[in-house]
Amino acid sequence: MKINGQTKKGIITMLEELKETVFHANLDLVKHHLVLFTWGNVSAINREKGLVVIKPSGVDYDTMKASDMVVVDLETGKVVEGDLNPSSDTPTHLVLYRNFPEIGGVVHTHSTYATAWAQAGIDIPNIGTTHADYFHDSIPCTDAMTKEQMGEYELNTGIVIVDKFKKDGLNPVHTPGVLVKNHGPFTWGKDANEAVYHAVVAEQVAKMAFISFSVNPRTTMNPLLIEKHFSRKHGPNAYYGQKKKA
């Protein structure tokens, strides 16, 4: 049997590693206190094969196993492997992978502070270097969904995200996350672990901004400082952390 031009055996062996990664990344959401019950999901993509590994829908983190991860086709969304239903948010993840070719992992949570800002329906302004180290601009909040878009809700959740990035000229690598209005945050990264990292950053940044605006409603940051901090960790002149050996 061949799927996307590979023997099934070859695919499975390769995806077993990705399943392990996605499984552990889902548990990391719990470790970082980003999820209650089953309210979160992580996926990762194998771009070569056009397959996405994602958490099953509504399964308890305590009993979940790596082998419960579900494999779906990037284009059709059909389940290629797995006995359980994939996360109900799968169509959103797939829209993001199809439109943001640079990303390798996606996370969705209902983490407290980021979700509260999403409910408030406003961008989280970039007011500190903690924010600027990972997100170049505000963490944007999508427009409200139209009545028509609610028909295919999860698909259109992805579409309102992509529309927001197009409309505002945002680069998904420099802005690795978004707030879906009245819903909650999606974040992404080069792989599942970086997507989880950005979910933690978004929650912390949301919490600190809530406090900052409470003590000073007119909080702002000089855009030059944003530029400086972002470039410490990104781009050709990055100098944070340990340099890789040549």
Choice among 68, 133, 143, 163 that is catalytic:
133
Tokens 């990055």, residue located: 238
**Nearer of residues 50 and 128 to a copy of itself, judged by Cβ:** 128
- 3-state SS string for the chain: CEECCEEHHHHHHHHHHHHHHHHHHHHHHHHCCCCCCCCEEEEEEECCCCEEEECECCCCCCCCCHHHCEEEECCCCCEEECCCCECCCHHHHHHHHHHCCCCCEEEEECCHHHHHHHHHCCCECCCCHHHHCCCCCCECECCCCCCHHHCCHHHHHHHHHHHHHHHCCCCCCCCCEEEECCCEEEEEECCHHHHHHHHHHHHHHHHHHHHHHHHCCCCCCCHHHHHHHHHHHCCCCCCCCCCCCC
Interacting residues with a copy of itself between 45 and 64 (CB under 8 A): 56-59
State which of residues 112, 143, 155, 163 lies at the interface with a copy of itself (CB under 8 A).
Answer: 112
Contact call for residue 30 and a copy of itself (CB under 8 A): no
x-or-dash pattern for a copy of itself, window 72-101, by CB under 8 A? ------------xx--x-------------
- When the beta carbons of 1 and 148 are compared against a copy of itself, the nearer one is 148
The verdict on 163 binding a copy of itself (CB under 8 A) reads no
Question: Does 129 engage in binding with a copy of itself (CB under 8 A)?
Answer: yes
Residue 24 or 110: the one with the smaller Cβ distance to a copy of itself is 110
Among 10, 101, 121, 166, binds a copy of itself (CB under 8 A): 121
Interface segment toward a copy of itself; rule CB under 8 A; list 1-9, 20-28, 44-52, 222-230: 222-230
Structure tokens given for 226: 């944003």
**Cβ–Cβ under 8 Å, residues 108 and 41:** yes
With binding defined as CB under 8 A, does residue 197 bind a copy of itself? yes
133 is catalytic: yes
Question: Which amino acids are annotated catalytic?
Answer: 133, 240
Q: Where does this chain bind a copy of itself (CB under 8 A)?
A: 36-39, 56-59, 84-85, 88, 110, 112-113, 115-122, 127-130, 144-145, 147, 150, 153, 182-184, 197, 200, 204, 207-216, 219-222, 224-225, 228-229, 232, 239-243
